[in-house]
Amino acid sequence: MAVPTFVDRVALHVVGGRGGHGVASVHREKFKPLGGPDGGNGGPGGSVVLRVDPDVTTLIDYHHSRARRAEHGGHGAGAHRNGTHGQDLVLPVPDGTVVTDPQGEVLADLVGPGTEMVVAHGGKGGLGNAALASSKRKAPGFALLGEPGDELDIHLELKVVADIGLVGFPSAGKSSLVAALSRARPKIADYPFTTLVPNLGVVRVGETTYTVADVPGLIEGASEGRGLGQDFLRHVERCAALVHVVDLASVEPGRDPLSDLDVIERELEQYGGLADRPRLVALNKVDVPDGRDMAEIMAADQDWAARIAERGWPVHVVSATSHEGLRELSFAMAKLVEDQRAMAPIVETERIVIRPATASGPDFTVKSVTVEGGQGWRVRGDKPERWIRQTDFSNDEAVGFLADRLNRLGVEERLVQLGAVEGDAVLIGDPDDAVVFDFRPSMEAGAEMLGRRGEDQRFTTTRPAAQRRREIDAAMPSRAEGETRADVARRIGVADPDAEPDDEQGSDTWENDL
């Protein structure tokens, strides 16, 4: 299988780097028993960036390697050390690359060296427990996870950026003109459709330098897909001016220079968007005897002269082989380029960033669904789904923190308004990857409640020591004069969890309660 040397359409699957996880850590130092949380944040993941590189002329690099992923962010560490930032993945693309989504919607048109587009953002790093600490939650026993980066499919389509586009029938001598005017060496042969890819040449005339593109041969019906069709007609869109290359020595029946010119012009008109381009006509192959005769006949034809004059297109008789008339043609093309550049607005290098559209309305939506034959509720929204991705579900305190965030957002209140009852399934996130909870209304705020690090009392049974404290507290108002808390505990038949471990039994009880 032949490996193509020119590729102007590719599909890419791009993924931004995942953000690093935050870390839950406590400062430990001699003579500082209460060092406090010192867990660092995770680093953000790298982004996938498209950047216009003038040295790149094809999309061949992405023809066989279509999946690209940026670097992940580093995880946080103790002692307030944040994770490293993931390195961006920069993909060089040719000037004139159009970026579209799978549905064909144009996301960006990259024109101008250095123009950048961020197609896949890296995920944000998770917060460490030092960043989560507050006046009420002084020593969090959890940290947030890093978020995944953007993941999407894009299509890249190259539209060659050239100042002059050479158009005409196959074998009209377009590639020969490019070779004669510049140092480019395209493939040249005596059969149709020799050129299968656009060829670019750089021409310098006086103080003007411009590029010439040889568009592969067009035939009647090209705008409808015949021949190479629209695969290469789109390359003409970028050209500032067009030159009709007409074959004076064609021996095909039914063809003549005027009809060839009309056919190509009709195809350009049907393709659309090219009516404002200035044009020249180059009558090529005058070095061939039949071509010389045809040029003289056309010069004497009043009808031909009138039709060309009506369009206002300058005509040049040239030969790519003997270089006859090429100097005049190159200066005429330079004049067109200078005029177009003088009228064109200044294009500044820009950085394009794809961001999801901000939706107006509530932060979340709740809909009733059926889950395994029972009642359920689906919660969708950017904030709830993002918080789900940040939560470490192996840590009860982190789950409690998530519950508090959802409660403050109003999710629980909305569920109650819609008729949710305890035990209903609540699904948060995409239907294919949703997290399911059992609804428990009117839960107390859990993150501010005292407890062991990494635990949330709402997700565990009542601890025996806490139960005994409540029983003793309830009996304290009825204590006799001089009766201590320990006496009350003995009177009601429970051990005081706050008593000093004076004996072996008390010591065991005290240690177990802790």
Binding residues for GTP: 168-175, 193-197, 214-217, 284-287, 319-321
* Alpha-carbon dihedral 218, 223, 229, 233, rounded to 10 degrees: 70
CB 225 within 8 A of CB 271: no
Contact between residue 171 and residue 218 where contact means Cβ atoms under 8 Å apart: no
Distance, in Å, from the CA atom of 361 to the CA atom of 469, rounded to the nearest integer, reads 48
Phi and psi dihedrals of 95, rounded to 5?
Answer: -65, 130
Going by C-alpha positions, the residue among 308, 216, 218, 340 that lies closest to residue 270 is: 218
Cα dihedral sign, 314-318-320-326: negative
Alpha-helix residue ranges (DSSP H) falling in 370-435: 382-390, 396-409, 411-417
Helices 396-409 and 382-390 sit at what angle, rounded to 10 degrees?
A: 170
**Closest by Cα among 194, 229, 113, 121 to 161:** 113
- Give me 159's structure tokens: 């539209």
Which residues face 88 on adjacent strands? none
- Sheet strands side by side (includes 241-247): 199-205, 208-214, 164-167, 241-247, 279-284, 315-317
Strand, helix or coil for residue 268: helix
In a 3-state reduction of DSSP, which class is residue 9?
Answer: strand
Can you say which residues are annotated as belonging to the binding site for Mg(2+)?
Answer: 175, 195
CB 370 within 8 A of CB 135: no
Put residue 325 in one of left, alpha, beta given phi > 0 → left and psi -120 to 50 → alpha: left
Q: Which amino acid is at 417?
A: Q
Instruction: Compute the C-alpha angle 219/220/223, nearest 5°.
Output: 90
Binding residues are 168-175, 193-197, 214-217, 284-287, 319-321
Query: Which two three-digit tokens encode residue 512?
Result: 């177990």
